Amino acid sequence: QAPVHLFVHGTETITKMQSTDQDIFMQYQDKLNEISVKVKELGVLEKKMGEVAEILQQRKNNIIKETEHIQKTVTQWSGKVHLDVGGVKYTTALSTLTKYEGSMLTAMFSGRYHVEKDEKGRVFMDRNGAAFGYVLEYLRNGEEWIQPEDKHMCKILKQEFIYYGLPYGDDVIKEKDEKKPAQIEWDAAKKGGNIEISNDNRTARFPATTGSKAFQAVMSKNPISGKVKVRLDSYDPTSNTGDGWMALGIAPADTYLVDDPYNKMACGWSSNGCSWVRGSYQQNWIKRYSTGDEIEIDYDTTNKKLKIHHIRLNIRAELQVPADIVSPLHLILIFFSQSKNDQVTLVWSL
């Protein structure tokens, strides 16, 4: 019996050992499977990390590229930008042109795009040159800007603001009612020989001639008191260089209208960039006048002071009429030799 019992017991023992080994094997197999899954997960994670690293590298490259663009822009413009807008020359700060994010001007001068310049380093834009002066004033001063009095110019500005990607709502550009027509008129009986006066006596024109008198002038019929606005309907800015330019001011009624009316004028403004009193320069202005510009003349008869305001450029001057010049004074417009079809219209008076 004993041998049989031992055999049976030994067999059971071996069977249990085999079962234990199988359990251990299965446990190891499960662990191996878990490790295999983790390895695969690590592989996926590594791939994703590689993709993230690639994205981060691309972003880094973009930042470097953007920085290079900014540095290039700063170097290219050196803080100033010289423009030729429809033939009118402007110089302004890069920060002014790029004030409004998302505007066409900001994109144009961001450095991302190639901007061609002429031989003088100016960027040409085929837009309304006179209107762009007001655009610059808005960029410089925001809601505090001084918009034009002229209703037609306000309509033009809405188009220009849309083009440049600037806000143009009624709270920005308000179309104003026109003031009453000018009560003051040019006097056809008081003018130089070559000057032409319109039928309504509001427009004075100097045709392109050569060999004319050095100065030719026209005066208003009535004395000036209060405000008058005039418009340069036709004006050749090249007249500023050389002998062709014009002047607007006030003078006694007996001022001689040819040869030398300039030195007999009390005071006024001239298109070559200065204000003056009796032929003597008082204040030099930048020569940026163009067709469509408007100038306000405001004469205080009590204090004998003349205020001049170039509306588009927002340039102002206040001049004292010499004490020995006797009132009443008339508005006077002087054309100088070699003017080229320059034309001035009285817009309104108060």
The string of pLDDT tens digits covering residues 212-253 is 546 788 889 888 888 888 888 877 665 444 455 778 888 888
Check whether 264 has a pLDDT greater than 90. no
Residue 116 Ramachandran class (φ > 0 left, ψ -120 to 50 alpha, else beta) = beta
Given this model, what pLDDT does residue 72 score? 60
The answer to whether residues 171 and 158 touch, using CB atoms and an 8 Å cutoff, is no
Check whether 266 has a pLDDT greater than 50. yes
| Percent of the chain residues past pLDDT 70, beyond the cut | 70
Separation of alpha carbons 128 and 86, rounded Å: 6
Choose between 33 and 321: higher pLDDT: 321
pTM of the model: 0.49
Strands 294-300 and 280-284: unpaired
pLDDT tens, residue by residue, 290-307? 778 888 889 888 888 989
Separation of alpha carbons 95 and 101, rounded Å: 11
Given this model, what pLDDT does residue 68 score? 66
The answer to whether residues 185 and 177 touch, using CB atoms and an 8 Å cutoff, is no
Give the strands of the sheet with 80-85, arranged side by side. Answer: 88-93, 80-85, 123-125
pLDDT tens, residue by residue, 32-43? 788 878 888 888
Mean model confidence pLDDT for the chain: 77
